Amino acid sequence: MPQAEIETTRPHQHQESARLAALNSMGILDTAPEPAYDAITRLAAEYFQADSAVIGFADETRVWIKSHWGEAVRELPRSHSIFDIVLARNGPVVIPDIGQHPQFQARRLPFRALNVVFVASVPVRSTDSSIVGTLTIFRQETRADLTPDELRTLESLADMVTSQLELQRLRKSLTRERARRNRPASVPSGDQPWPRSSDLRRALDRREFVLFYQPEVDLCTRKIVGLEALIRWRHPERGLIPPMDFIPLAEESGLILPIGDWGLAEACSQIQSWTREDPRHCTLRVAVNLSARQFLREGLADHVESLLLQSGTSSRQLGLEMTESSLIPNMNTALEVLGGLRTLGISLSMDDFGTGYSSLSYLHSFPFDVLKIDRSFVGRMTDGDQALQIVRTIIELARVLGMDVVAEGIETREQYRLLRQMGCRFGQGFLFAKPMAADDIGELLRLPGRVLPDPEDTRPIAATCMA
């Protein structure tokens, strides 16, 4: 922006009061440093090849630095700071050469040792849109103004800070919701809870588990690009049992290891059978869910490699999905195992992104190539701006990290439209197809070009299949 436009005038008193109220209600200044913010400053610094980056929040007189990449800083006086300029402008500020700006006091820079020349700063807003802080990058060399795309990326990174706060709130309600859903169904007194681990063992022996498959589609072309394998238990009396009714017990009892081995082998043999039927399906990737216990097992990569060899499946045809919570308890082992799987050429997806404890701070360290947006966010997208903003920033985050993004749980045309509009490339959900038995999927795969009908014109195809 032209230098003359830069002002540091104070906002009106009522605006300032609203701003401070928002800051207090978000509890930002009182909480411990949020590790996710460090991931954001690091991303910003790396993406813009900056020497430093900071996230700061300002009260009446000080700017409190809550995260820094580069030199460590804690606080600085607010007046004539970059924060004041952003606030006066009510928007981003890019200063290619700070030496040329008389209103701006260089001693208000957070860095003493750095010979900063170029500064770009964007607002971090509260949910009611007040500016509570800034994300700022610094360079020791001047550079041209940021392009509109670059500025948008920097603003998206700042939005992620806001999203983190909203995520924390949603996460709390999700955890409560899940705990309620996972509570075992009440059992009439005298009856044993069902299932028990002996039931699972028997089911394994009797080959009662089956894999259903749900298509993952390219949202622009509606071509089926992959399938997610989802286990079910076909119980002779009780019917089709969904995974959440037995996977937690399988994990607890350790039976998830043989069940998981069966699932991997079954998926590989199914891939082979589809590819035999039509060699063009060699581009189809089938993703299998892994639980924490399987993941931390010794020699997982070797085991997967031998399964691929035995079945003659190419590693490009297999994907593995895991949630953040299965990685966090043992980060070092997780990194090693993921590295081994990646070396094999298997695609790795982070499942249920956003629901884990601090997704952003870890995501950067893991070699994932796909990020799956949890369906709770997709489902809330049309409820209000905030959930929509979270989805938008997750898509942007994936873009910055060079990852593919898959939106889970697309149920409505409106969600489909919004996701396409936001540049989300892939998705899955009941709008396109529910999880189905292998034979039914075989029929979808026979559609010309594997392209599903347009859900804008038709009822959800495969609406009659079981979830």
The answer for 152, left when phi > 0, alpha when psi is -120 to 50, beta otherwise, is alpha
Asked if residue 70 binds ligand C2E (CB under 6 A), the reply is no
Asked if residue 467 binds ligand C2E (CB under 6 A), the reply is yes
* Least separation in angstroms between CB 202 and ligand C2E: 18
43, 231, 268, 403: which one contacts ligand C2E (CB under 6 A)?
231
> Which string of x and - marks every residue 304-333 that binds Mg ion (by CB under 5 A)?
-----------------x------------
The answer for 318, left when phi > 0, alpha when psi is -120 to 50, beta otherwise, is beta
C-alpha–C-alpha distance, residues 261 and 255, integer Å: 10
- Cβ-closest position to ligand C2E: 429
Which entry of ligand C2E, Mg ion, none binds 409, CB below 5 to 8 A by partner kind?
Answer: ligand C2E
* Residues 6 or more apart in contact with residue 59 via CB below 8 angstroms: 20, 23, 29, 78
Asked if residue 258 binds ligand C2E (CB under 6 A), the reply is no
Ranges within 319-358 binding ligand C2E (CB under 6 A)? 321, 351-352
96, 195, 215, 409: which one contacts ligand C2E (CB under 6 A)?
409
**In this chain, which stretch among 52-60, 139-147, 236-244, 356-364 interacts with ligand C2E, using CB under 6 A?**
236-244
Which entry of Mg ion, ligand C2E, none binds 242, CB below 5 to 8 A by partner kind?
Answer: ligand C2E
**In this chain, which stretch among 26-34, 53-61, 287-295, 304-312 interacts with ligand C2E, using CB under 6 A?**
287-295
Asked if residue 427 binds ligand C2E (CB under 6 A), the reply is no
Which entry of Mg ion, ligand C2E, none binds 377, CB below 5 to 8 A by partner kind?
Answer: none
Asked if residue 289 binds Mg ion (CB under 5 A), the reply is yes
Degrees to nearest 5, angle at CA 442 with 455 and 436 = 65
Peptide bond into 193 cis (omega under 30): no
* Least separation in angstroms between CB 292 and ligand C2E: 9
Q: Is 240 in contact with 234 (CB distance < 8 Å)?
A: yes
Burial 133-149 (b: 16+ CB within 10 A, else e): bbbbbbbeeeeeebeee
Ranges within 145-174 binding ligand C2E (CB under 6 A)? none
Q: Is 163 in contact with 171 (CB distance < 8 Å)?
A: no
> Which string of x and - marks every residue 364-403 that binds Mg ion (by CB under 5 A)?
----------------------------------------
Which entry of ligand C2E, Mg ion, none binds 435, CB below 5 to 8 A by partner kind?
Answer: ligand C2E
Q: Which is nearer to Mg ion, 166 or 321 (CB)?
A: 321
**In this chain, which stretch among 120-128, 199-207, 281-289, 307-315 interacts with Mg ion, using CB under 5 A?**
281-289
Asked if residue 291 binds ligand C2E (CB under 6 A), the reply is yes
Asked if residue 430 binds ligand C2E (CB under 6 A), the reply is yes
Q: Is 215 in contact with 444 (CB distance < 8 Å)?
A: yes
Asked if residue 230 binds ligand C2E (CB under 6 A), the reply is yes
Asked if residue 224 binds ligand C2E (CB under 6 A), the reply is no
Q: Which is nearer to ligand C2E, 67 or 294 (CB)?
A: 294
Asked if residue 352 binds Mg ion (CB under 5 A), the reply is yes
Exposure on the CB side of residue 66, measured as CA atoms within 13 A: 25
C-alpha–C-alpha distance, residues 239 and 233, integer Å: 8
Binding residues for Mg ion, rule CB under 5 A, total 5
C-alpha–C-alpha distance, residues 116 and 148, integer Å: 23
Strands 436-437 and 426-427: unpaired
* Residues 6 or more apart in contact with residue 378 via CB below 8 angstroms: 391, 407, 408, 409, 410, 415, 419, 429
In the chain the first and final C-alpha atoms are separated, in Å, by 54
- Catalog residues that contact ligand C2E under the rule CB under 6 A: 214, 230-231, 242-244, 247, 260, 263, 289-291, 321, 351-352, 375, 408-411, 428-430, 435, 467
Residues near Mg ion (CB under 5 A) are 289, 321, 351-352, 408
